[in-house]
Amino acid sequence: MEIKTEDYSIESVDNTKSVIAGILRLTSPAAYEKDFEHIQKGITDSSTGYTVDIANVNFMNSSGITALSRLVLLARQGNKSLTLVINESIPWQKKTISSLKKLYEKLEIRS
């Protein structure tokens, strides 16, 4: 499944991985819900763990950070392994995302 807009794309590579790319500055956390639906399902259904690759997301507003954090909390709730692939040369990714590790010990953040 792939969602593609003028600003961003969200692609489910397989049952264990999604790749988000572009600029995500939607109006509210709720506005992200629909686009993140299949990622939520992937995390919930996963048995070996799920990976979300955001290395090519140049910008994500705080509503997006909230939505992304909810994926981490969803994984925590279901005791699922979750990996976020980030790009450390993008300031907000290096700084903001690293704090999410404190929400869930099984969250792996790698670049």
- Residues forming the site for another protein (CB under 8 A): 7, 23, 25-30, 58-59, 61-63, 65-66, 69-70, 73, 89-92, 94-96, 99-100, 102-103
Q: Strand locations in the chain, DSSP E?
A: 2-4, 8-14, 17-24, 50-60, 82-85, 107-110
Is the Cβ of residue 1 or residue 73 nearer to another protein in the bound state?
73
Q: In the Cβ-directed half-sphere of 89, how many Cα atoms lie within 13 Å?
A: 2
Is the Cβ of residue 15 or residue 99 nearer to another protein in the bound state?
99
Is the Cβ of residue 17 or residue 85 nearer to another protein in the bound state?
85
Nearest distance from residue 13's CB to another protein, in Å?
26
Which residue do the tokens 């259904």 mark?
A: 45
